Structure 1
Amino acid sequence: MYLTRFRLNTARSGTRKLLASPQAMHAAVMASFPTLLPSAADRPRVLWRVDRTSRAEVFLHIVSPPKPDLTHLAEQAGWPTQPEWQTHDYTPFLSGLAKGDVWAFRLTANPVHTIRRRPGEPTKPTAHVTPRHQRDWLLRRQDAAGFRVVEKPVEQRRLPEGDEYELVIHNRQRHEFTKRTSKGTVSLVTVTFDGRLEVTDPNALRRTLTMGLGRAKAYGCGLMTLAPVG
């Protein structure tokens, strides 16, 4: 497995086009793997996520089984004379995860639930739109995903309810676009979770980090990354 980080040049029109469309970004990411056939049913999972930093920098993160070649992205959305991407072997880090470890994490996800609007109708995925429901969406999945979100000490909680966890939910976005393979319209709500977690099941967490969490993985959702606390 490989973890790649690529800095996007926001002054370029190609970058703005990619950032405006999860579908266009997905196509650009998948073009980084010439050995992967787009239509292959057993194609390995490739995860990606766009992050914006406090210094107004924008980074593309990719987790993938094969090593990517981002030359085309550097030409379209980077600095062609100074390609700025780093690819690291992810396997040593994944292998070193241990129960009880505490990490800072980031996850951009598509929190949804299935509802039936009228009796007799099929269920339909519907986005969670409130921070409380989005938080609960993550908490319901943490055990199976191999971690638990760290709880705050009671004396550090600013509110009597809703401030129990080391967790911040931000960067809510709504995307709508037409799929290239059909005339259907995709409506997608994404949010970013920043927080701290404790590893409860290293094997399950490795699956989460390499296979993703939740829906809409092709559109920049599901990729969780870890960083040292502090």
Structure 2
Amino acid sequence: MRLPKTAHTSRPWRIHEIAGDFQVEDVWELPTPGGPDDLAHLVDQFAQDKGEPIDSPVGRALFAIRWKLGALFGWDKPEDGVGGRLSTLRDRLPADLREGPRGPDLTAVPFTSVYQTHDEWAAEMGNKTVHGVMHIGWVPDGAGGYRGQMAVLVKSNGLFGGLYMAGIKPFRYLGVYPALIRGIGREWQARAADRSAGSAGAVGSAG
């Protein structure tokens, strides 16, 4: 479910300290129910995903078109990304975050981890159009449990970047985000079942 931007901006996340010049583009509730210490499981799920980031044919087609356009127009050259044209947000981290856990980089999609805490994880990507941040927070669900919350923060590269973001917005909402979030939820449920089975097996063996 899509959430108002205040669902992200109203929380005391550490990302506010380092990405104040980024715009909050989207905020989504993730179907990942769990306990207070389960963010690490969700981060591991993102990091270990070696398959398609989108499980619907329409979403995969949109991603394929985007990468083909990027190759055609040179949007995704390494020199235009993080560490090239764009400075990594790790350069902005306060000492406690810089010295703490960094978190994993992603393989299925080109995101580099910035930092990870008990209830936050931030990863960044960049190209000729934008510098983007995926922020995953772990929040109370209002019913005694917890769940994930994903915010997408963007810093556009001038007028071209702004036009690019405006142009892809309908495709993100119709073909990308719904499928992505459904896939995250299905994978979470499968992994949660595996963890429960493993715990039950361990208890049985100990008994």
TM-score, normalised to structure 2's length? 0.24
From the two aligned structures, give the one with the greater helix fraction.
2
From the two aligned structures, give the one with the greater strand fraction.
1
TM-score, normalised to structure 1's length? 0.22
